[in-house]
Amino acid sequence: MLKVLVNSPSSAIMRLLALVLVTALSGCAQMNTQHNNASGSVIAGDDQGTPVGVSLSSFLNESNRGEAVQLAKSPWGPGVNVYPGQPYFAASGRVCRELTIQGNGGERAAIACKMVDGQWATRRQVTSAQPQGSRF
């Protein structure tokens, strides 16, 4: 007796779904291998920020939140005090710290992130809190 294999509609659908799944997963794997970023960041680009110098980098590596360092020379000008916040992992995949900079007639916020070589660099702040009552 000769048996004829007949494809049922459900097996055809299962094969189609398996093909779609394999195609989607292989595309995800290829995306990751095409991204060669030496910065250690998930965000592409060569811009690591403005280096803060060896002494401030050492301080940021070893300090706790609320400690301060006074710098004669810094990216924010001479004679400033820098107060680091708690280290955190940024969306870029790097360790960063919020900084409060006091000196030169005022106080301002900054962000520093650790680079691949272990030094720190200032980064542009993407967002900031708006004062209460602000319309924008």
Which pLDDT score, from 0 to 100, does residue 128 have? Answer: 56
Confidence of residue 3 (pLDDT cuts 50, 70, 90): low
Which pLDDT score, from 0 to 100, does residue 117 have? Answer: 87
What average pLDDT does this structure show over 79-99? Answer: 92
Which pLDDT score, from 0 to 100, does residue 69 have? Answer: 93
Which pLDDT score, from 0 to 100, does residue 84 have? Answer: 95
What average pLDDT does this structure show over 105-120? Answer: 91
* DSSP helix/strand/coil, 13: helix
Q: What is the pLDDT of residues 27-64, one digit of tens each?
A: 655 444 333 444 444 444 455 678 888 889 999 999 99
pTM exceeds 0.85 for this model: no
| Other beta carbons less than 10 A from residue 119's beta carbon | 19
- Residues of the chain above pLDDT 70, percent: 64
* 3-state DSSP percent of the chain in helix, strand and coil, to 5: 25, 25, 50
> Are residues 113 and 52 in contact, defined by beta-carbon separation less than 8 angstroms?
no
